[in-house]
């Protein structure tokens, strides 16, 4: 059932891809979420390589490019249509068709990983977080922002894998990420979590 739901999600985003970037929802909704996500990045972080998981058309990556003009930008999204649009809208970035559970990047190759409003679509959230942690360099940062609807909406909308704040923290810890911050945003509509990959401590 989970695989079927995932395939339906991907097909839905493929159908939306050609109009997604110019949708009114971008300015009304997603740009506000992006601002909240950008506010979770540590002020002293100077990433050389940035990954956006569930990148869509690359809109967040373009904002990150303005903040970190020398950084290498990488986007991953399971919808081929979204990746095609991302390449058109975001020249200079590298894009892969894929999912969080199989991030196609070497170990310890990323300084900053971002994911906004895609987490509830992930097939295996704990595995996805572990894959992101694996791709992070020691001291690298993962900012995860997802929708956290009120409980009564859970009872109506069965679609999606809605993780509680405690569950997200546990996934981060199990993946070797120290949770530095977790808070709500947009009137408690969002759950925002920042984790940092633990640095290797030398015994010498």
Could you please report the per-residue DSSP string of 21-56?
TT-HHIIIIIHHHHHHHHTTS-TT---SEEEEET-T
pTM score, whole prediction: 0.89
Of residues 2 and 88, which shows the higher confidence score? 88
Q: Does some domain include residue 112?
A: yes
Number of folded domains in the chain?
Answer: 1
Q: Does some domain include residue 181?
A: yes
Q: Does some domain include residue 35?
A: yes
Q: Does some domain include residue 203?
A: no
- Here the CATH number for the domain that contains residue 6 is 3.40.50.150
pLDDT at residue number 156: 44
Q: List pLDDT tens digits, range 38-58.
A: 999 999 999 999 999 999 999
Q: List pLDDT tens digits, range 173-183.
A: 999 999 999 99
Domain housing 94: 2-197
Distance CA 150, CA 8 (A): 24
Which segment of 71-85, 119-133, 157-171 scores lowest on mean pLDDT?
157-171
Q: Does some domain include residue 204?
A: no
């Amino acid at each position: 059932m989970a695989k079927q739901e995932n395939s339906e999600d991907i097909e839905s985003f493929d159908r939306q891809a050609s109009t997604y970037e110019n949708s009114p929802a971008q300015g009304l909704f997603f740009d506000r979420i992006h601002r909240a996500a950008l506010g979770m990045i540590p002020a002293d972080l100077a990433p050389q390589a940035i990954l956006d998981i569930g990148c869509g058309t690359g809109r967040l990556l373009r904002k990150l490019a303005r903040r970190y003009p020398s950084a290498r930008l990488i986007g991953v999204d399971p919808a081929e249509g979204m990746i095609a649009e991302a390449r058109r809208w975001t020249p200079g970035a590298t894009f892969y068709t894929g999912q969080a559970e199989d991030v196609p990047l070497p170990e310890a190759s990323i300084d900053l990983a971002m994911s906004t409003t895609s987490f509830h679509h992930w097939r295996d959230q704990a595995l996805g977080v572990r894959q992101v942690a694996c791709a992070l360099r020691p001291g690298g940062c993962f900012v995860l922002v997802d929708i956290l609807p009120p409980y009564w909406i859970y009872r109506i909308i069965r679609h999606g894998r809605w993780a509680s704040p405690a569950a997200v923290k546990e996934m981060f810890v199990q993946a070797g990420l120290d949770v530095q911050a977790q808070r709500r945003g947009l009137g408690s509509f969002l759950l925002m979590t920042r984790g940092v990959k633990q640095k290797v401590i030398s015994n010498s």
